[in-house]
């Protein structure tokens, strides 16, 4: 399963419209805690990460690879004040950024956790709709083009995963092994 979605960037160098490919997620949500303890890691499957990186590279799409943070909601859970409600952790985005977390969204950590529990390969590629470090937001025109790029990357990654699976079957391998040039 590959999540193709949107996020907010936490790093200045992850520009509006750039894609973020998640290697793992900081579990700030509470859905996954109904299945595993809080210390259980939320990690994307390595083959899906490789496929997403290869797809973005093949398609020439600007992308970044690293950690994501998944919050329980859009406003207070991400440090935003809304409707007079003060967030419980107003400094969450600055703290995550200092830990080199690339982006924040709401779904990936649950997807990674449940995928790992059930033996399903998971990954995520998200379009940066905002940059929390610079205060920038994506325009409607930029959003459409960036979303289409993320969708193309996700679909190309599925094709690459099929090629990886065929290679594993042919080589009688359990895991895909990247081949380096001689």
Q: Which residue ranges make up each domain of the chain?
A: 2-83+112-128+135-171
Block residue for tokens 């290697």: 23
pLDDT of residue 76: 53
Angle between helices 46-59 and 140-171 (to 10 degrees): 120
CA angle 132, 133, 139 (to 5 degrees): 50
pTM for the predicted model, two decimal places: 0.93
Task: Kindly report the number of other CB atoms within 10 A of residue 16's CB atom.
Answer: 18
* Mean pLDDT, the chain cut into blocks of 10 residues (182 residues total): 97 97 96 95 98 98 98 65 78 94 96 98 97 94 95 98 97 90 82
CA–CA distance, 181 with 111 (Å, rounded to integer)? 34
Asked if residues 47 and 175 have their Cβ atoms less than 8 Å apart, the reply is yes
Q: Which CATH architecture describes the domain 2-83+112-128+135-171?
A: 3-Layer(aba) Sandwich (3.40)
DSSP-assigned states of every residue in 46-63: HHHHHHHHHHHHHHT--E
pLDDT value for 121: 98
Which structure tokens are listed for 4? 């193709």
pLDDT computed for residue 8 by the predictor: 95
Tokens of 95: 């703290």
Question: 127: buried, middle or exposed (CB in 10 Å: 19+, 13-18, 0-12)?
Answer: buried
Q: Which two tokens stand for residue 166?
A: 């065929």
- What is the pLDDT at residue 164? 97
d(CA 78, CA 29): 10
Q: What is the pLDDT of residue 73?
A: 64
Q: What is the DSSP string of 156-168?
A: HHHHHHHHHHHHH
């Amino acid at each position: 399963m590959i999540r193709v979605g949107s996020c907010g960037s936490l790093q200045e160098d992850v520009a509006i419209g750039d894609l973020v490919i998640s290697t793992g997620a900081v579990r700030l949500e509470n859905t996954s805690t109904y299945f595993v303890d809080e210390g259980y890691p939320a990690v994307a499957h390595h083959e899906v990460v490789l496929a997403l990186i290869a797809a973005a590279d093949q398609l020439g799409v600007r992308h970044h690879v690293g950690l994501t943070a998944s919050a329980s909601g859009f406003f207070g859970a991400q440090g935003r004040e809304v409707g007079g409600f003060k967030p419980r952790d107003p400094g969450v985005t600055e703290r995550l950024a200092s830990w080199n977390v690339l982006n924040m969204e709401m779904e990936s950590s649950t997807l990674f956790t449940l995928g790992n529990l059930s033996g399903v390969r998971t990954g995520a590629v998200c379009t940066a709709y905002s940059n929390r470090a610079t205060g920038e937001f994506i325009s409607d025109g930029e959003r459409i083009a960036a979303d289409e790029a993320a969708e193309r990357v996700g679909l190309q990654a599925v094709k690459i995963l099929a090629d990886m699976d065929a290679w594993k079957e042919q080589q009688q391998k359990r895991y895909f092994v990247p081949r380096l040039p001689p």
